[in-house]
Amino acid sequence: MFDDFDEFSHLMLKYEFAIEKLKTELDILIKEYEFKNKYQPVDHIKSRIKTKESALKKLERKGYDITLDNLKEHIHDMVGVRIVCSFLSDVYDIVDIIEKSKVLKIKEKRDYIKNPKKSGYSSFHLIVLIPMRLEDEIEYIQAEIQIRTMAMDFWASLDHKIQYKYNGIPLEVQKEMYNCAIAIKSLDNKMIDLNEIASKHKDEN
Ligand code: 0O2
């Protein structure tokens, strides 16, 4: 357990401020995009602050001592936002507008779409820094933004239920989940093609 309860509560409060600022900035960026392009790329957005229990488990899983410094440094998804898009191309458009944000600083990019995880997990992750003016000083709070298609989201949520975070899932199940991820990828590509055909058809008529 974290020894200094007051300091932990203060940190959680900062995460609450940070997630509000992040959601507002994303809302502005996405609405601007929608206005300019007359098109809505996002199906839905979810956000959460990681629970203390989940953070403790993750620190243990990664082999770190349970300290506030380790939490701040090594758990970069205490503040997390997930943006679920319609098409694969929308994912990259959203990454692009976030990268151009004047408020958020990009700390890291992880393209698990081009390079899926061993499990088959596919999604684009951005680790961003949110500047927070606290007690007259600017403090940067880390957050993870996961950007994915609806199909990837479907796979990830079921995978989470079936196997993620559990040990000893049969190899067969893992292999089948991987095969499902391949099928999801092919569906996402097919949807892009169908969308393009439909849009050409609209232009010609
Ligand atoms: P939860 O409960 O979803 O929040 P590291 O790479 O060691 O620096 P980390 O945090 O493991 O650190 O980074 P990674 O792997 O880039 O992203 C972690 C998050 O991506 C996970 O958070 C999941 O949300 C998601 N994720 C990664 N791999 C998988 C997978 O195989 N299946 C599913 N369903 N989700 C995955 P948490 O905190 O591990 O879990």
pLDDT one-digit tens code per residue, 20-67: 999 999 999 999 999 999 999 999 999 999 999 999 999 999 999 999
Instruction: Specify the pTM.
Output: 0.93
Q: What is the mean pLDDT of residues 102-123?
A: 97
Is the minimum distance from the CB of 155 to ligand 1 under 6 angstroms? no
Give the C-alpha separation, 61 to 140, whole Å: 25
Atom of ligand 1 nearest to the CA of 155: 34
* Residue 112 scores a pLDDT above 90: yes
Instruction: Please tell me the distance from the alpha carbon of residue 114 to that of residue 147, in angstroms, as a whole number.
Output: 13
Residue 202, pLDDT > 90, answer no
Residue 204 pLDDT: 80
Query: What pLDDT score does 1 carry?
Result: 58
Q: Is the pLDDT of residue 164 over 70?
A: no
Mutate to test the pocket of ligand 1, among 15, 50, 77 (most ligand atoms within 8 A of CB): 77
Which atom, in ligand 1's list, is nearest to the CA of 54? 2
Distance CA 57, CA 55 (A): 5
155: nearest Cα among 185, 125, 118: 185
Query: What pLDDT score was predicted for residue 3?
Result: 61
% pLDDT > 70, the chain? 96
pLDDT at 165: 59
Among candidates 106, 46, 89, which has minimal Cα distance to 188? 89
Q: Whose C-alpha lies nearest to ligand 1, atom 17?
A: 125
pLDDT band with cut points at 50, 70 and 90 for residue 135: confident
Res 137 pLDDT > 80 = yes
pLDDT of residue 34: 98
